[in-house]
Each structure stands twice: as C-alpha cells, then as structure tokens.
Amino acid sequence: MAAEMKFLQGNEACVEGALYAGLQFFAGYPITPSTEIAEQLSARLPQRGGKFIQMEDEIASMCAVIGASLTGLKSMTATSGPGFSLIQEAIGYAVMTETPTVVVNVQRGGPSTGLPTCVAQGDVMQARWGTHGDHSIITLTASSIQDIFLMTVEAFNLSETYRTPVILLFDEVIGHMREKLILPKPGEIELVERLRTSVPEGTDYHPYLARDDGRLPMSDFGGVHRYNVTGLVHDMWGFPTTDPATTHALLRHLVDKLEERADSLARYKEYYLDDAEVVIISYGSPVRSARHAVEQLRQKSRRVGLLELQTLWPFPAQLIHDRCQMAHEILVVEMNMGQITQEVKKAVPDPDRVFLANRIDGVFITHKDVKATLRLIMGKGV
C-alpha cells in the first residue's frame, strides 16, 4: 500500500501527530493561532473513544490535562502567548509531580495580546523559565509540516519516558502554512508507552521512589494503588515534607534527569556544515528562509551552512559548540530579540562572532533579510 499523503496546515499535522502518538485526552480554550488544533480534536478524539473538553480558560485546560494524564491517558493542550502565560503555574505542577503532558504553543506576536494573527518567536525563554522555581523542561520545535508531525510524536514519547511536560513551540507561520505530509504507517515510528509499576495490588507503592535506573514507574491514578500527589516538595510517598535532604534530592532529580541528557535529547538537522565558514543557526519557520539564503549562497560557492535546532530546551550547547568550531561567523536567525542568540554566545568559545538576524515586526523573515544581515557581517559580495 502506498503511503498516505495529505496536504495539511501545521496545526492539522500536529493533530495527526498527536493521534498517531496515541492521544486520548485534550482540554483547551480557543486562541489564535492555535484554535484549529482544538477544533479538529473535538471531532477526531471521540471517533476513537478519546475525550475532548473545552474548558473555561487555559488554566483549567492545563489542570484538566494533568488530571487526565495521572489517570493514565496521553493528554495534551494547545494554546498561544496569552494562554501560555496563564498555564505557567500548572506547567510547574506537572514538572513537580512528574506528570507526562504535552503543551503546544503556536507562538504569535507579544507581549500581552500583541499581534494575534502575526508570527513571532518571543516565547522561547518563557518556555524555559515561565514557571517559577529551579526546574528543567523539554521544548521542541519544527520548520516543516512533516517535522511538526514527527516532533509531536516525539513530544509524547519524551514526556512518557522522562515523566515531564514537553512544550511544542511552533509559530503562526508554520501553524497555518500548508504543505505535504506523508503519514507514517502504524508501527513505523516507535511509540513510548508509560512505564507502569509492577508492584502488585495490596503492596505499598511509592510513587516517587526511583528504580535503580532512575526511572519512576507510574500507577494509573484511581487504580489499584492509593497514593498522594502534591505540588509541594514531597517524599517517596508523595507526601509533603520540608526535610532539607529530601528537598535537595528532589530538585536535583528534576533538573538532572533532563539537563544531564541534553546531548541525547538534542534533535536537529544540518545543511552544508562540513566546510562552512559561516554557520547559520535557526529553528521554527525562519529555518525555511535561512535555508533559502544558504542555498543561494552555495550557488555562488560561499561556504555557508545551516544548523536547524529542533530541541531548544534543554539547550544543545555541546552540539552548537562542536558544529561552530570551524566557523568564522555564526548567525542566529530568529523572530525575537535574540533569545537563542544569547544561549549560542554562551556555548561558543568566541561570543563576539555570534550575530543575530531577526524581525520583530510581525512580518515573516525572508531569505533577503538573512542575506542583508550577512552582508553587514561579511562585507560586500554576499
């Protein structure tokens, strides 16, 4: 049988990816430019026995998603800037209680209500640090409809593997753009199912007692084991404590389980990097313009290459360090005032050689914008 091919919006590809990954529960509140995800899932989820609920706001949506995930269902919400701000406290709860959840943020212009229908990538740092307290989190992004599908499946897999919320940080252009999607067949991509405890009914189950390999098997909430879940600092029983040693160990665990795996969590693509003297780093829809510019410059035999980041957090600092070793110049292309640029500067030996090509006016950055910035850096002839 030939592969199933579709012509879809990014938001629709996200729906396809979520369903492929086994999404069973979605709660959301309408917000531009993510609304199509909720609309489509309201039709698709009940067809396969899943649940869709439109809540009274984004806060309630994220809370319902956590509640449903605890009962054993793969769960997701989707929102944009203002809604993403509202759910930060609940994202922290999912971090603290180690509840697998997927959060889609189709970015629009900000701050505040900003530019609801225009593109921006201003929520990169918010994805990392939006909720209070020391923590770590996984954030993925994509620059094509096919990759939106793949990264959505990946988000579910990683959230189940590491018991963490995973942010899918898309943007208005990639969310609304239409492109070809080749739908993988069932089984073609491996799906990670939740690690459930082997502790039998009637035996004490410790929800926050790690196995030897560091993983914490779950027990579906409301099932055969009764335990406590709290957003307070907690012990192996899930019961609140202020014990300094327990507190320290919990915080280290929450951060280290992801930060120590930054290399293996790095998803990326590279183009023409082998001999590149100029390395362009980009993510999300601006990758398309950066790649366009790189291909034009290659035709002029310019040694320009592109590193596309698909994992933004934990930040792939080692990858960037390695790929930029030979670079004379590094140009970060992003639609904000340099949120990833600052991280790149920290990752390379010579931060003075890191430059930014951006747009923050709600207009999509083009290959001409990228080349104009390169011209400023490298002089004429580009």
Positions touching another protein (CB under 8 A) are 25, 27, 43, 46-47, 49, 51, 53, 55-57, 59-61, 63-73, 75, 89-90, 93, 220-224, 226-232, 237, 239-240
CA dihedral 232, 235, 239, 243 (to 10 degrees): -70
Q: Which is nearer to another protein, 67 or 217 (CB)?
A: 67
The single residue listed with the structure tokens 């313009």 is 289
Copy the structure tokens of residue 138: 């996984």
Taking the complex as a whole, the smallest distance from the CB of residue 226 to another protein amounts, in Å, to 5
Taking the complex as a whole, the smallest distance from the CB of residue 221 to another protein amounts, in Å, to 6
CA distance 90 to 75: 14
CA distance 220 to 71: 5
CA distance 70 to 222: 9
Q: Do 215 and 100 meet the contact criterion of CB atoms below 8 Å apart? A: no
Q: In what order do the strands lie in the sheet with 101-107?
A: 51-54, 25-28, 75-79, 101-107, 165-171, 138-140, 311-313
Q: Which is nearer to another protein, 219 or 336 (CB)?
A: 219
Copy the structure tokens of residue 181: 């999607």
Taking the complex as a whole, the smallest distance from the CB of residue 137 to another protein amounts, in Å, to 17
Q: Which is nearer to another protein, 68 or 137 (CB)?
A: 68
Taking the complex as a whole, the smallest distance from the CB of residue 93 to another protein amounts, in Å, to 6
Q: Which is nearer to another protein, 231 or 362 (CB)?
A: 231
Nearest of 264, 337, 315 to residue 127 by alpha carbon: 315
Taking the complex as a whole, the smallest distance from the CB of residue 14 to another protein amounts, in Å, to 20
Taking the complex as a whole, the smallest distance from the CB of residue 241 to another protein amounts, in Å, to 10
Element spanning 318, H or E: helix 317-323
Q: Which is nearer to another protein, 65 or 378 (CB)?
A: 65
Q: Which is nearer to another protein, 8 or 76 (CB)?
A: 76
Q: Which is nearer to another protein, 86 or 297 (CB)?
A: 86
Q: Do 291 and 270 meet the contact criterion of CB atoms below 8 Å apart? A: no
210: left (phi over 0), alpha (psi -120 to 50) or beta: beta
Q: Which is nearer to another protein, 182 or 224 (CB)?
A: 224
Spell out the residues 6+ positions from residue 4 whose beta carbon is closer than 8 angstroms to its own: 182, 183, 185
Element spanning 7, H or E: strand 4-9
Q: Which is nearer to another protein, 83 or 286 (CB)?
A: 83
Q: Which is nearer to another protein, 91 or 319 (CB)?
A: 91
Taking the complex as a whole, the smallest distance from the CB of residue 162 to another protein amounts, in Å, to 21
CA distance 317 to 312: 10
Taking the complex as a whole, the smallest distance from the CB of residue 9 to another protein amounts, in Å, to 22
Taking the complex as a whole, the smallest distance from the CB of residue 71 to another protein amounts, in Å, to 3
Q: Do 277 and 326 meet the contact criterion of CB atoms below 8 Å apart? A: yes
Spell out the residues 6+ positions from residue 43 whose beta carbon is closer than 8 angstroms to its own: none
Taking the complex as a whole, the smallest distance from the CB of residue 193 to another protein amounts, in Å, to 16
